[in-house]
Amino acid sequence: MIWMSAAFEAARPQGRDARFLEQKGCGFKSVYRSYVVSAVTAHASDLFILRPPYPEFSCGASWGRMRRKIVQAASTFAWRLAIRWDASEMLDFMTTTVSGDFELTMDELRVVARYVAETAQEVLPVFEDANPGDSRPRAALDAAWEFVNGARRTKLQRVTSLDAHRAAKEASTEASRLAARAAGDAASAAYLHPIAKAHQVGHILRAAASAARIAEINAGDDPEVGNKMIEQARQRATPVLIDILERYPLAPAGKNRIAQLMTTLDDSLRASR
């Protein structure tokens, strides 16, 4: 958005704040992005939060197209937090709901993350037994549980999720690859997007499908074992999880076994309502 771009520049720290941030080794981009987030929030609620003590901060003419000088300066509180947080973390602090094609609350995201983390925890030993020196999936699972247990979502979940998925790509067996990926899915569940796209269902159900496939492999590729695991995953799903799932389209069809198992679980969860 053009107006947002202009607002970024309008909110760029100057003078004493610029020198302070430079001394702290902070990048300007993440800091003045948080200024803008604070300003947008203040505008949306018609509340002007605490003003910092520095008169150099003002909004430019482009920003004033929306409302002339919405905020003379970003909140001192927002400014201090911006030193440590990026824009998405700042937004998470100021809201308990994320919006897109529909809404997801942080509590709902924690329900999803718990469901995925419980599955990932069951199969993580499959990876660790095969790769005793690789702690990346374990770190991702730990990050997922931090969010589930009430911590706000941060870069920790994103970074550890990516690391776990890299570990999955490097795994030497299908079972260990799926176990590492499930741990990565657990961490990334904190950032499930509220957009009506079929691939998002994978962030909710792929770990359970992976666990079922691991059980099949350990049983000599017995599909009946996988089907039993899918039934167990269905029974573990809470009404809240199913409600979240139904906001998304059906799981994408596919020929591989993971896609088939995920479709089976998706169908059974929707039919259980």
| Per-residue pLDDT, 106 | 94
Beta bridge partners of 29: none
Question: What is the per-residue pLDDT for 70?
Answer: 44
Contact criterion met (CB below 8 Å) for 24 and 52: no
Angle between helix 223-236 and 257-271 (nearest 10): 40
> Are 248 and 196 within 8 A, CB to CB?
yes
How far separated are the first and last CA of the chain, in Å rounded? 41
Whether the pLDDT of residue 63 is over 50: the answer is no
pLDDT tops 60 at residue 242: yes
97-144 confidence digits (pLDDT tens): 676 789 999 999 999 999 999 999 999 999 999 999 999 999 999 999
Average pLDDT taken over every residue of the chain? 78
Report the pLDDT averaged over residues 56-67.
44
Residue 226 pLDDT class (50, 70, 90 cuts): very high
The secondary element (H helix, E strand) that includes residue 98 is strand 97-99
Asked if residue 22 has pLDDT above 60, the reply is no
Domain map (residue ranges) of the chain = 2-95, 103-271
Query: Cα separation of 81 and 76, whole Å?
Result: 9
User: What pLDDT sits at residue 205?
Assistant: 98
How far apart are the C-alpha atoms of 203 and 245, rounded to whole Å?
10
SS3 152: coil
**CA 93 remoteness from chain centre:** 14
User: Which pLDDT score is estimated for 91?
Assistant: 52
What's the whole-number mean pLDDT along residues 192-220?
96
Beta bridge partners of 99: 103
